[in-house]
Amino acid sequence: MLPGVPFSCLFFFLPLVWLLPGSLAGDPYVFFDWTVSYVSASPLGVKQQVIGVNGKFPGPVLNLTTNWNVVVNVKNDLDEPLLITWNGVQHRKNSWQDGVSGTNCPIPAGWNWTYQFQVKDQIGSFFYFPSLSFQRAAGGYGGIIINNREVIPLPFGLPDGDVHIFIGDWYSKSHKELRKDVENGADLGVPDGILINGFGPYRYDQALIPDGITYQIINVEPGKTYRFRVHNVGISTSLNFRIQNHNLLLVETEGSYTAQQNYSNMDIHVGQSYSFLVTMDQNASTDYYIVASPRFVNSSDWAKVTGVAVLHYSNSQGPASGPLPDPPNDYDKYFSMNQARSIRWNVSAGAARPNPQGSFKYGQITVTDVYVIQNRPPELIDGKLRTTLNGISYLPPTTPLMLAQQFKIPGVYKFDFPNKLMSRPPKLDTSLINGTFKGFMEIIFQNNDTTVQSYHLDGYAFFVVGMDFGVWTENSRGTYNKWDGVARCTTQVFPGAWTAILVSLDNAGIWNLRAQNLDSWYLGQEVYLGVVNPEIDATEVPLPDNAIYCGLLSALQKNQAQRIDFSGAESIPDVSKTIFFLLIFSLIGTLVR
C-alpha cells in the first residue's frame, strides 16, 4: 500500500468516479492517523528531543489532489497542548479546522482530535506544523502536496520525481528553553545549525564541521528532471537555497504557477514554499552540494552555520569537495528585493480550475478596505517584552474567537483593529480586523524592525503587488504590479521597507494574520481577520461535532477518558474505514445488479 494513501481512498477514487458520475460521486476522502510525540534525534551530533509525527522527523507528506476531503486524526502524545495548522490550505468557509489558537481549543496532552477539511479549488506545495508554544522550533512539520486533478494539465512536463526539502535554522536547546529565552528578552543568538530535512551539514569543511553528523543525500538519475519543493520551516532566519552547478527553474509558489524562470539561487524566507524543476544535466564528475545559507546576517559567527546536503547522481564519480557555491552578496540590499519582484504569476496557466489563473483580473477591482500595518521591534508593555502590529500586541483569549462567535459570548474580542498606527502607547488587546465579506482589501506591511519579517494570512492567497524600501505613501501605488503579481500566502517584508498585498475577502471565517518568524509571533505579532457573511449562509460549515471546549465554555467538555490507542497508521483497524469500505462494496453490488 502507498504510505499515506489508504486503500479505501484509492478504491473510492478510481472505480467509483467512473461508475457513479453525477450526484453520488462526491469528492474522495482520505484518512490519516497521526501520533505526535517526542522522538530523539541528533541532527547536529548532540542528542535532543524533537517532535515527530508517527515517529518521523520531518513528518509524513500529505499527498492530496484538488477537492479531496482530508481526515486527520491527531493524537497528542506530547506533554503540552497541541494544534496543527495547515499553512496555505484555505479551508474554504471552515476556519474551525485551521489549527491556530483563535479557532480551536488546543488538544490536551494525551487526547486526540480529528481534523476534517476539503482542499477545495487548490493546488500547490505547502506544509503543516504545530502552531502553539514555539513547538515548530522542535519540528512537528511536514509537507503538503495538492496535485492537479487529472483534467487540468500541468504547465510543464510531468517531472520524473518529487523531492521535498525542509530548510530551517535550528538550536540544540529545546523549544521550551527557547521560548523562555524569548519571553525574557534574550536574543536567540546564532543558531547551532541549519537543518535540511532534519539532518545536519555534510562535512564540506573538516575544520568547521565535526565528524559523525548524518546528512541528507538526494539520489537522482542523470538526465532526469525532479520537482524540488523547498520550504523554510525555521524559526526566524531567511535562507538562500542553491544547488551547485544546477539551475532552479521556478514553477510554483504556495499554490500559484509562476512564469517559469531559471535562478541560480533563491532567497526563501521563514514560512515560504517554492517548487523548482531541476534537471540532472551535469556530468557527475562528483556529487553536488545542496546549500541553505543564512541571509542578512553580519557576523563571522554565522560562517559555520550553513545547511549542506548532497545531490548524488547514480553515476557519480566521487564525493562533493571544494568550496560551496557562492551566495549572493549580502550587502546588496536590492538583490533580494529584485529577485522577489521578478517572481510573476503565469496568468495563462490553469491551476485548480481549467480557466487561466489571470482570468481573475485583480488589478481592475476596486479596493474596499485599506490597512497599513506597522510592526515594531520588541518593546516593554506592562513590564513584559512584546511585539506589536499597529501598536497592538495580540492577547489570545482563553476562549477561541470562533467559539466565542458561535456561542455569542460578548466581550471576548472587539472588531476595532486600527487601519494605521495610532499615536497612543502600545497595548495588549484582542482586537480584530473587521473584513467586509466580498470586499477587496489592500494591506501594506511596513517593517520597522531591523530584520526581515514574513507575514502569512490563513484562509487566503493574496496578490503581492509591490515592495520597496522606505515608508509607503499613497504615491507608492503607482509602482504596483496590477497584472501578474503572484498569489501566495506568505510574503517577506524587508527591514525598513514595505510590501503591499491585495486580497479578495470571499472566504467567511476568522483568519489568522501572523508573523511567521516564531519569536515575533510568540511575542504578539498576530491579529485575526474576521470576515462575516451578513446573510445567514446555509453552506457555512457548522461547529464540528467533535469540537473541544475550553475557556468560558469548558463546562461543555466531556472528558476524553477512553482514549483509543493507535500507535502507527496501519497497525489498528480503523472502524470508520471499514464501514466506509463496506458501504462502497454494497454500492458496487447494487450497481452491478
Ligand X SMILES: *[C@@H]1O[C@H](CO)[C@@H](O)[C@H](O)[C@H]1NC(C)=O
Q: Point out which residues bind ligand X (CB under 6 A).
A: 63, 65, 73, 112-114, 145, 155, 162, 247, 249, 259-260, 262, 279, 281, 283, 285, 298, 331, 346, 348-349, 415, 434, 436, 448, 450, 495-496, 546, 564
Task: Select 23 or 300, whichever has its Cβ closest to ligand X.
Answer: 300
Task: Select 450 or 559, whichever has its Cβ closest to ligand X.
Answer: 450
Task: Give the nearest residue (CB) to ligand X.
Answer: 155
Pick from 182, 169, 108: which is nearest to 137 by CA?
169
Cα–Cα separations (whole angstroms), residue 527 to 151, 313, 317:
38, 47, 53
Separation of alpha carbons 502 and 439, rounded Å: 11
Tell me the closest approach of the beta carbon of residue 415 to ligand X, in angstroms.
Answer: 4
Tell me the closest approach of the beta carbon of residue 285 to ligand X, in angstroms.
Answer: 4
Tell me the closest approach of the beta carbon of residue 58 to ligand X, in angstroms.
Answer: 13
Task: Select 359 or 546, whichever has its Cβ closest to ligand X.
Answer: 546
Separation of alpha carbons 103 and 131, rounded Å: 12
Task: Select 461 or 547, whichever has its Cβ closest to ligand X.
Answer: 547
Q: Reduced to 3 states, what is the DSSP secondary structure of residue 95?
A: helix
Tell me the closest approach of the beta carbon of residue 180 to ligand X, in angstroms.
Answer: 27
Separation of alpha carbons 437 and 529, rounded Å: 11
Separation of alpha carbons 254 and 403, rounded Å: 29
* Start-to-end CA span in the chain (Å): 30
State the cell numbers at 252: 510554483
Separation of alpha carbons 413 and 322, rounded Å: 57
Tell me the closest approach of the beta carbon of residue 222 to ligand X, in angstroms.
Answer: 12
Q: Are 458 and 530 in contact (CB under 8 A)?
A: no
**E-only strand ranges, 314-437:** 369-381, 384-389, 392-394, 427-429, 433-436
Report the b/e string of 376-413 with b at 16+ CB within 10 A.
bebeebeeebbbbbbbbbbebbebbbbbbbeeeeeebb
Pick from 366, 370, 350, 367: which is nearest to 358 by CA?
350
Pick from 56, 204, 181: which is nearest to 522 by CA?
181
Task: Select 49 or 560, whichever has its Cβ closest to ligand X.
Answer: 560
Task: Select 199 or 296, whichever has its Cβ closest to ligand X.
Answer: 296
Task: Select 209 or 316, whichever has its Cβ closest to ligand X.
Answer: 316
Task: Select 30 or 209, whichever has its Cβ closest to ligand X.
Answer: 30
Tell me the closest approach of the beta carbon of residue 170 to ligand X, in angstroms.
Answer: 23
Q: Is the dihedral of CA 126, 128, 132, 134 positive or negative?
A: negative
Task: Select 40 or 436, whichever has its Cβ closest to ligand X.
Answer: 436
Count helices and strands in the chain by DSSP H and E runs: 7, 32
Tell me the closest approach of the beta carbon of residue 473 to ligand X, in angstroms.
Answer: 13
Tell me the closest approach of the beta carbon of residue 359 to ligand X, in angstroms.
Answer: 13
Tell me the closest approach of the beta carbon of residue 210 to ligand X, in angstroms.
Answer: 28
User: Is there a cis peptide before residue 58, judged by omega within 30 degrees of 0?
Assistant: yes
